[in-house]
Structure 1
Amino acid sequence: MHDLLPQLLSALVLGLLGGGHCLGMCGGLMGALTFAIPKEQRGRRLHLLMAYNAGRVFSYACAGLLTGMLGWAVANSPGAMLLRVIAGLLMITMGLYLAGWWSGLTRIEGLGRWIWRYLQPLASRLMPVSTMPRALLLGAVWGWLPCGLVYSTLLWSASQGNALHSGLLMLAFGIGTWPVLLATGLAAERITALLRRRSVRVAGALLVILFGLWTLPGPHQQWLMGHTPHTMNHGMGHTMTPQMNHADMAHE
């Protein structure tokens, strides 16, 4: 569990600073959804926009749970080390994308286009949105829109080998995307401008890359955490020695 907090922070940063990509992929959709709200419901625009995004984030969390189950199966197999390597590399790749240094993640979006062909008719039938349940359902459908950033984060979350952790990571990622998309729907240009500043994006990208390096297995982890193997063992209250018997290990 001690590894979960930095992972959640990383997922939140990915969502928050992925705003530029979100504006390109979903900004137009958010605008369309906003204009599709009937005139008599315009006074409830904020509530309906919140419902859109709540449904979308719920879909992200569900997808995280489902793929996390598959990740758990791999994590309990000889491929566990490879899974961790993939997780670290994905984090580094997403950091490069957020900083604008490499945009290869967009190629992953083609993987989900066949899903959207089946869901798009359902989304069309839910518009225009006049009630909160309708907005929530439309947001849940919207959550499956093909997106390279979402898919990459989903693969990274699944590589944690824990379905619950994967779901929580996707939940944190989804919450991170709220400010920019909600601001787009409300025409809050100052917020979107802040999140798209080069300095803010690069700082967040470097943080994500650092988490990726920390995730990769290897002796560099001790250096990144400011520990050596000896001090880590000492900090844990014991040192592993060949003399430790099975009873001691079971007690630990």
Structure 2
Amino acid sequence: MLYSALIFGLLGSFHCVGMCGPIAFLLPVDRKNPTKRALQLLSYHLGRILMYALLGLVFGLVGKSLNLFGLQQQLSVGIGVLMILFILIPTKIVSRYNFSKPIYKAVGKVKSAMGAELKKKNPGTFFTIGYLNGLLPCGLVYMAIFGALATGGAWEGSLYMAVFGLGTVPLMTTAIYLGNFLTGKVKKRVLKVIPVFVIIIGALFIVRGLGLGIPYISPSEHVAIEQVSAEHSCH
């Protein structure tokens, strides 16, 4: 399912340019030295990808613990349903039950730390900003975390989120070099496409969990159990 992580990253980067773009535009990159600027951007992206990978590691471990109880396929179905509901439930209803409120203070601290880092120009600034950037709330990041959870393994979840991060690199880099280059019409069109892809990927997670005996897409429950048993016998 790594391809879904890449799709989330590529499409999500359009959303990122709008949400995280202002941060990217404010990065104190060296505009006169192309080589130094490239290294600074590389450091920024490495920081983001590392944070995503760590998040994937944590949620992959959660998924692994659920797999130990034989809930791998049920988890895949549940995550697929959550992805679809996340898109279909009207925003007005979701806003009434804003589950992110408890972490607002933590997010505020992250933003304050990023603001302090943006004023610096030492070698570790860009990595730190990227690392903190990975902690900011984002709907597409949540979708990718769902995917990492469904992988059912620590390293698998980490890889899933790292691939998601890599998918965001091209457009975010372009935004840093060229500024806000996307027109309003293009953004609107892409934002209309994103929900469709999320629903498609959610449906794929459901099909995967149903164990229909389709190789690579929906392995049977017997095969899935054998794979999990084989993984644990190797440790």
Same structural fold, with TM-score higher than 0.5 when normalized by the shorter chain: yes
Q: Residue 129 of structure 1: CA displacement? A: 4.3
For 1:9, the equivalent position in structure 2 comes to 3
> 1:76 and 2:73 equivalent?
no
What is the match of residue 172 of structure 1? 163
- Per-residue deviation, 1:207: 5.5
Q: How many angstroms does 1:53 deviate by? A: 1.5
Q: Could you say which residue in structure 1 is the equivalent of 2:134?
A: 143
- The alpha-carbon distance between structure 1 residues 16 and 117, as it changes in their structure 2 partners (threshold 3 A), is same
**2:53 alignment partner in structure 1:** 61
Determine the structure 1 residue equivalent to 2:230.
none
Deviates more, 1:67-76 or 1:104-113: 104-113
Aligned mates of 2:60, 2:216 — CA distance in 1: 27
| Counterpart secondary structure, 1:126 | helix
Q: Which residue of structure 2 lines up, in the alignment, with residue 127 of structure 1? A: 118
Which residue identity lines up with residue 47 of structure 1 in the other structure? L
Does 1:29 find its partner at 2:20?
no
Does 1:20 find its partner at 2:10? Answer: no
Q: 1:214 to 1:155 in 2, by over 3 A?
A: closer
Q: What SS is found at the alignment partner of 1:145?
A: coil
**Cα displacement (A) at 1:224:** 10
Identical aligned residues as a percent: 25
**Cα distance, 1:44–1:93 mapped onto 2, change above 3 Å:** farther
Using the TM superposition, give the Cα deviation of residue 171 of structure 1 relative to its aligned residue in structure 2, in angstroms: 0.3
Kept in 2, the 8 Å contact 1:109–1:151? The answer is: no
Task: Quote the residue 1:161 is aligned against.
Answer: 152
- Distance change >3 Å, CA 146–CA 214, structure 1 → 2: closer
Which has the higher Rg, Structure 1 or Structure 2?
1
Query: 1:45: Cα distance to partner?
Result: 2.5
Measured at CA, do residues 85 and 112 of structure 1 come closer, stay the same or move farther in structure 2, by a change above 3 Å?
farther
After TM superposition, give the deviation of residue 68 of structure 1 in Å: 1.3
Matching residue within 187, 204, 208 for 1:214: 204
For 2:205, give the aligned amino acid.
T
Partner of 1:244: none
Q: In 2, Cα distance between the equivalents of 1:188 and 1:127?
A: 17
CA RMSD across the alignment: 3.9
Contact 1:87 1:156 in 2 (8 A): yes
CA pair 93-42 structure 1, distance change in 2 beyond 3 A:
farther
* CA-CA distance at 1:138 after TM superposition: 1.9
Contact 2:147 2:160 in 1 (8 A): no
What is the 5 A alignment of 1:70-109?
70-77=62-69, 79-92=71-84
Letter paired with 1:122: A
**Unaligned ranges ≥5, structure 2:** 224-232
- TM-score normalized with structure 1 length: 0.68
* Closer/same/farther in 2, CA of residues 218 and 82 from structure 1, 3 Å limit: closer
